[in-house]
Amino acid sequence: MKIFNGLRDFISSNPKKFLFLVLFGFIVVWFLFDDYGLLKRIRMEAEHRMLVERYRQEQQRIADNERRIGNAHNADSIEKAARERYNFRREGETLYIIRGNK
């Protein structure tokens, strides 16, 4: 009860100050939690950085695939791809597969 009496006394003695504090609190809450507020902006920036990084990785994969397609006309590159990717081997050759931890 003392808190309410103190608040009532503060409001009655300083109405302009109270109005300013309420308005300032409203503006701070609005600035932080609105649809275009600070917290949403921070989340959107983090998502943007993640998407830009994913875009760079995909561009790198596209460049690697284009390079492999360009080299696909060589018989040596076809044999190398078959050996590395599909574990093919030549006649009389022993194949050892070593798998790393992922």
What would the DSSP string read from start to end of 41-92?
HHHHHHHHHHHHHHHHHHHHHHHHHHHHHHGGGSHHHHHHHHHHHH----TT
Which has more pLDDT, 83 or 51?
A: 51
Residue 23 sits in the same domain as residue 42 = no
75 pLDDT above the threshold of 80 = no
**Structural domain containing residue 65:** 35-87
Mean pLDDT of all residues belonging to the chain: 83
Residue 50: inside a domain: yes
Residue 28 sits in the same domain as residue 8 = yes
Residue 102: inside a domain: no
Residue 65 sits in the same domain as residue 49 = yes
Residues 6+ away with beta carbon under 8 Å from 11: 18
Residue 42 sits in the same domain as residue 82 = yes
- Total domains in the chain come to 2
Which has more pLDDT, 47 or 99?
A: 47
Residue 76 sits in the same domain as residue 40 = yes
